[in-house]
A and B are shown apart, each in its own frame.
Chain A
């Protein structure tokens, strides 16, 4: 008797969950979900802004040796950078002129939509942020999301009328076709891992990859232009018996400090949540 009651309860709850999921996918819950988001968004935005202020740009080191090593690395980098600064100044002038001529985004048919980050992922297994633009601004699933001048941080993954969720590059389901600025112009796929790491996989074993090589988008997928900066190679994992090698990626930006992003939209029809 008691077992039957338990089975009934279990089936009842399972039915309610199934109905809720089906109703969601049919879009009949849209108004409820939009209302709930509207209620929670201001608080979420406030908490997120506070978290950015509180976390700041602090970096922590576990040991003194680690700090010393970081300091030495920085000193070397600074010397190299000084030497390159002069060349960079000249190149910058040239670059500004070229950029004006190139109209990079327009040439690809992309429009840039600036958005504010209002929250971030709460699932411990995911890594994403919520932005305040959505299908009403012609943002659609798959649109690249950048910061600064072309640093890729993620891709639009879900779209609601006024908001969208950006899957960051370190999310475990993130996959972006990428290329290395090495001699071979190696191709591969940049994949995330639970907010803990970013890796570039499927790099052919025989190609030369070096620490510090720049990684950018290859443009071999829909909606994603070539040349968006992803990061640099931090380490290489190579096994003799494997057909491919893997590069550990140091992203160009810390994804925990993003407040403003730009979405490269192409005006295609969006897929609703």
Chain B
């Protein structure tokens, strides 16, 4: 029963996260709308719980997002899930310190990996479909805005959440000073 409730809770949490992501995309003006709420939430869950489940959460969340994107199916799913897997390994083996700076650095690394993999997946999809095209002008600007606001959002959210994480710790020990 408890397992079922936890599972149900996770499903509701994921749906609410997707709605929050939609709300930010729809309601916020450019360039704030480029903030990637999904990655902020996933990274917060990762640094809090330090569990591999976050990779599967990323998989299901981005599966939902695939329904709202125009890129060939799988591009977002592949790049996001693999980048979160990379973030999990990075946080477990390299950036083990939970200071604000190292956590923000984790965010930068994850977003950069995500967009590099996104481009690789798009270029691969281009080999199979002539309808896929990449316009290079504007790409860097869009990525820069997304990186800036996502990392800023993550940094602020992490600083706010540390007292909660400390009170309800997962596998990770949180320092008294962020």
Residues in A lying within 8 Å of B, measured CB to CB? 6, 9-10, 13-14, 16-17, 20-21, 24-25, 33, 36-37, 39-40, 43-44, 47-48, 50-51, 54-55, 119-126, 128, 130, 157-158, 165, 167, 171-173, 175, 191-197, 273
Contact = CB atoms under 8 A, between A and B. Distances in A.
Contacts of B26: 47-48, 50-51, 119-120
10 contacts: A21-B74, A21-B78, A25-B73, A37-B67, A40-B15, A120-B26, A122-B69, A130-B68, A158-B70, A194-B138
B156 interface: no
Contacts of B82: 10, 13-14, 17
Interface in B23-40: 23, 25-27, 29-30, 33-34, 36
Interface string B127-154: 0000111110111011001100000000
A13 B74 contact: no
B18 interface: yes
A232 B71 CA distance: 29
Contacts of A120: 25-26
Which of B23, B77, B135 has the most chain A CB within a 10 Å cutoff? B135
Interface string B61-91: 0011101111101101110011001000100
Nearest to B84: A13
B69 A123 contact: yes
A11 to B, nearest CB: 11
A20 to B, nearest CB: 7
A40 B138 contact: no
Contact of A20 (B33, B74, B135): B74
A123 B71 contact: yes
Interface in B103-128: 118
B27 to A, nearest CB: 5
B21 interface: yes
Contacts of B145: 124
A195 B138 CA distance: 9
Interface of B: 15, 18-19, 21-23, 25-27, 29-30, 33-34, 36, 52, 55, 59, 63-65, 67-71, 73-74, 76-78, 81-82, 85, 89, 118, 131-135, 137-139, 141-142, 145-146
Contacts of A6: 89
A122 B85 contact: no
A273 B73 CA distance: 9
A167 B70 contact: yes
Given A33-B67, A44-B22, A122-B25, A21 B73 contact: yes
B69 A126 contact: yes
Given A39-B15, A51-B26, 14 more contacts: A13-B59, A16-B59, A21-B77, A40-B19, A40-B67, A44-B22, A55-B29, A122-B69, A123-B69, A124-B142, A125-B118, A172-B139, A175-B133, A194-B142
Nearest to B77: A17
